[in-house]
Structure 1
Amino acid sequence: MTEIESQTLYPVPSLRVITRDEHGLSRKQMSQNALRVLYRLREAGFGGYLVGGAVRDLLVGGAPKDYDVATDATPEQVKSLFRNCRLIGRRFRLAHVVYGREIIEVATFRANIDDGSGDREQHEGGRLLRDNVYGTIEDDAIRRDFTANALYYAIEDFSVRDYVGGYDDVQARLLRLIGDPEARYREDPVRMLRAARLAAKLDFTIEAGTAEPIARLAPLLAESAPARLFEETLKMFLSGHAVASFERLEAHGLLPALLPETAQALASNKSGALRRMLVQGLRNTDARVAADESVSPAFLYAVLLWPAYCRALALLQAQGVHAADAQRRAADRVTLHQVARTALPRRFSLPMQEIWLLQPRFSQRVRKRVFRLLSHPRFRAAFDFLELRLAASDSHAEDVAYWREAQLHPDAVLAAAERAAHAAESDGIAEAGEAGADGDPARKRKRRRRRSGSNAPGATSQEPA
């Protein structure tokens, strides 16, 4: 992008300084390690500012999980100041200053222009491939994605510096792109997902001009790296705002771009049962995150892709494919298609498939199978999924009740299963009594084989029917 093009697509920055008395932020609210980085940069003669999500979250009363610093020092200069620093990235060259488990990300101010050095590379469709042309704080402000993320906290006077109207947007809880929305989405299509995720997380409204191109440009996500889309999906659904994020994806036409087969299955499910189950699964996920409990990406994707699996399974069974084969083929088909969009690793896709494929086994209560299922390493996740299916249909209530009891009192349940098996066997014996049959075809065949091989008078060779 040339300097003239940059001036056309991006606003002219205008500095507004919000004093400490106005914004009310205190250093006591902030990461001490992030402040340490700021003070060290300042002592070395560089400018350094807290920037982005940390400042935004503090202004709305949140507790930031990550702290980013913007500076006029180059990555190599930052590395020379901190022994606990490593440089990462090619597309965006960054410095990570490591304090135990906390990483302070330090980025050099970047400009929007191509200086001819080759450090800014753009796809002909507008997608940004490389962005390492350094500039001023004003340049850096207007190249950020949303106005709410372009606020800079200055350590020297404890002020917040705003170049693009972000402070007022945060106060109004409004998410607005900086510059021309269509051009910014074409630079990086993942920004559309970020808009939905941040609006859900912060309970912000997406500004009308920012929202308008999203549904139209959503297919551009297919050009994004599947690994990036996978990471963005985890951020979206494992941060405690999964239901709100899903609703934003639906509202802005992004669901078919991120989860195409799920979107298709939901659209064709007129009863809405599959959507109810999916939303309940995301609601449970939010509850676990709020309780500081872990959520497996395998279980998350089992929920997100279950509608697609059900639709694929129904289509295969309608073609006359045997049930067990149809289940396996449906699981493989849905996984293969989704991996092409989001790079779901095998360490998550295989357990996801196991959760699906174990579902039919909950209706099988033969003693040996009950014992095997209870001892299966994926039993607990599969049972949790079965409970979740009650949100779609109460036809699973009996199975859920049985397996709850099986976990609490396995010996009693297994004994009951054995008694039921013996009762069924006895009924078979009674029915075959006049013919002298014992009700067990396998045992009958064995007995007949023994007889046919004996020397008893009158013994005859009989083949099983």
Structure 2
Amino acid sequence: MGNPETSTGSANIIPSVTTPISLRVIPRDQHTISRKDISPNAVRVLYRLRDAGFGAYLVGGAVRDLLVNGHPKDFDVATDATPEQVKQLFRNCRLIGRRFRLAHVVFGREIIEVATFRANIDDGSGDREMENGMLVRDNVYGSIEDDAIRRDFTCNALYYAIEDFSVRDYTGGFEDVQARLMKLIGDPEQRYREDPVRMLRAVRLAGKLGFQIEEKTAAPIPQLANLLNEAAPARLFEEVLKLFLGGHGVASFEGLERYGLFDVMFPESGKALRSNRSGALRRMLIEGLANTDQRVANDEPVSPSFLFALLLWPAFCRTQATLLKQGVAEEEAQRRAADRVTLHQLTTIALPRRFSLPMQEIWLLQARFGSRQRKRVFRTLTHPRFRAAFDFLILRQVASSEHASDVAFWREAQQQSGRELESALDDLHTQDADDAGDEPRKRRRRRRRPGAPGAPAAE
């Protein structure tokens, strides 16, 4: 069995640690991680690597979550074996990635990700590239010490060793987990400049784990928030899904708002929320995110289209109001606002059309809920996006009680048969006609002949 502190079987791995670090080994009887809580497939990978003479460690989020009595969904492995060597050990392995080369060991629907220890230097091979201070390629291999100090947060730099079931801590992460603290490894500003998405990870993990962001780690975020504009829009889309569809959306939103990140990611919604003095739009957003968190907790499906409809609704409302003030007709203003908000958002976050089009349909259906015309009511009920749009209408009650009658009507309409609904609509129209008949009749004005005194001049 290879020494975990060396680079057994990996001739291209170079030691590069220059910063003094200290290893703390937490033995099995001093931590809460048990093999029975680890995926059997991950345990299988760990043992096969160890038996082949390589170092083998469960690493990152799985170790962190197990220490706080969480239930990890993913189990990642770190080793001194190169990706090619991992592939030789597992027939069910495929190699992926250019920026960060990895081995994926596939067990049916479960994938165990195996990463080789990375170094934090450029060895001249071209396998580590920086552009404008951002890391765009990272495939220089190193020792476990190298790997620990190049990880982002101390709580993610803990290694569970299969050889003796201990936890290896090189950065003080074990104490930070116990203190419920998110702390960056290294200089915070430099680490954020290397990868601005780390600011989002800090907020997301703090929200998920109930951790506090350490003061020095939090301090640079408001000043560096605009660096997110340099991140790939497709990557930011994935980060948004992690932030808001992971079951901790409210905490994520509040963290993004607190550090000025929400305004960078959703600039038009940010402006709309600030200009909405009553706070109604923010209350609706919080309520929608809370409902999404509950659905995740209940293992119910959640929709990116609905999420973005919620996050961009303040922008849609503000843009539509501006167009109406400019004299644009109502239906046209709705369509233009939907297109304009979507187009502007794409410059920051790459929202795929399979989500943006349903998002717009949810918005545009809101205008139909005030109609009681028979044909329009039935068309609305059979629209493929009706259910999502109706759920959105219910959320709008949080912002304004004026939607209560519409919610009541459409809730009942869904429970009625076609004939019952037709009868209800007929009764409604009869009542409206009766109400109109009760009003005093207006006196008809006699039309003046052209040329008569007081008649409008001919054009």
Normalising by structure 1, report the TM-score. 0.89
Q: 1:149 aligns with which of 149, 156, 176?
A: 156
Alpha-carbon shift at residue 426 of structure 1 (Å) = 9.0
Alpha-carbon distance between aligned partners in 2 of 1:38 and 1:427, rounded to the nearest angstrom = 77
- Structure 2 counterpart of 1:60, one-letter code: V
Partner of 1:304 in structure 2?
311
Identity, in percent, stands at 71
Alpha-carbon shift at residue 427 of structure 1 (Å) = 9.5
Partner of 2:442 in structure 1?
none
Alpha-carbon distance between aligned partners in 2 of 1:187 and 1:37, rounded to the nearest angstrom = 31
Contact (CA 8 Å) 2:17, 2:146: kept in 1 or not?
no
Q: Map residues 259-408 of structure 1 onto 2, 5 A cutoff.
A: 259-408=266-415
Alpha-carbon distance between aligned partners in 2 of 1:388 and 1:430, rounded to the nearest angstrom = 36
Contact (CA 8 Å) 2:127, 2:139: kept in 1 or not?
yes
Alpha-carbon shift at residue 421 of structure 1 (Å) = 3.9
Number of equivalenced pairs: 425
1:60 to 2:99 alignment: no
Alpha-carbon distance between aligned partners in 2 of 1:265 and 1:191, rounded to the nearest angstrom = 26
- Structure 1 counterpart of 2:139, one-letter code: N
Contact (CA 8 Å) 2:273, 2:314: kept in 1 or not?
yes
Alpha-carbon shift at residue 418 of structure 1 (Å) = 2.6
Q: Which has the higher helix share?
A: 1
Question: Following superposition, which runs of at least 4 residues in structure 1 exceed 6 angstroms of deviation?
Answer: 423-431
Alpha-carbon distance between aligned partners in 1 of 2:337 and 2:413, rounded to the nearest angstrom = 29
* Deviation sequence 1:312-336 (CA, Å, 0-9, x none): 0001111111100100000001111
Distance 1:153 1:430, change over 3 A: closer
Contact (CA 8 Å) 2:104, 2:111: kept in 1 or not?
yes
Contact (CA 8 Å) 2:369, 2:406: kept in 1 or not?
yes
Partner of 2:422 in structure 1?
414
Contact (CA 8 Å) 2:17, 2:145: kept in 1 or not?
no
Alpha-carbon shift at residue 409 of structure 1 (Å) = 1.4
Query: Which runs of 5 or more structure 1 residues have no equivalent in the other structure?
Result: 432-465
Distance 1:38 1:281, change over 3 A: same
Normalising by structure 2, report the TM-score. 0.90
Alpha-carbon distance between aligned partners in 2 of 1:414 and 1:195, rounded to the nearest angstrom = 54
Alpha-carbon shift at residue 24 of structure 1 (Å) = 2.7
1:107 to 2:110 alignment: no
Partner of 1:228 in structure 2?
235
Alpha-carbon distance between aligned partners in 2 of 1:42 and 1:240, rounded to the nearest angstrom = 36
Distance 1:420 1:21, change over 3 A: closer
Distance 1:244 1:428, change over 3 A: closer
Distance 1:44 1:303, change over 3 A: same
Contact (CA 8 Å) 2:193, 2:227: kept in 1 or not?
yes
Alpha-carbon distance between aligned partners in 1 of 2:252 and 2:236, rounded to the nearest angstrom = 14
- Structure 2 counterpart of 1:416, one-letter code: A
Alpha-carbon shift at residue 6 of structure 1 (Å) = 8.1
Alpha-carbon distance between aligned partners in 1 of 2:434 and 2:215, rounded to the nearest angstrom = 72
- Structure 2 counterpart of 1:396, one-letter code: H
Of the structure 1 ranges 252-261 and 237-246, higher mean CA displacement relative to structure 2 is found in 252-261
Partner of 1:463 in structure 2?
none
Alpha-carbon distance between aligned partners in 2 of 1:267 and 1:182, rounded to the nearest angstrom = 28
Alpha-carbon shift at residue 413 of structure 1 (Å) = 2.8
Alpha-carbon shift at residue 423 of structure 1 (Å) = 6.6
Partner of 2:143 in structure 1?
136
1:27 to 2:35 alignment: yes
Partner of 1:457 in structure 2?
none
Q: Counterpart of 1:340 in 2: which secondary structure?
A: coil
Distance 1:78 1:428, change over 3 A: same
Distance 1:427 1:38, change over 3 A: closer
* Deviation sequence 1:328-378 (CA, Å, 0-9, x none): 000001111111111110000000000000001000001111111111111
- Structure 2 counterpart of 1:68, one-letter code: D
Contact (CA 8 Å) 2:32, 2:66: kept in 1 or not?
no
Partner of 1:75 in structure 2?
83
Alpha-carbon shift at residue 259 of structure 1 (Å) = 1.1
Alpha-carbon shift at residue 14 of structure 1 (Å) = 1.0
Alpha-carbon distance between aligned partners in 1 of 2:236 and 2:217, rounded to the nearest angstrom = 20
Q: 1:12 aligns with which of 2, 20, 25?
A: 20
Contact (CA 8 Å) 1:313, 1:330: kept in 2 or not?
yes
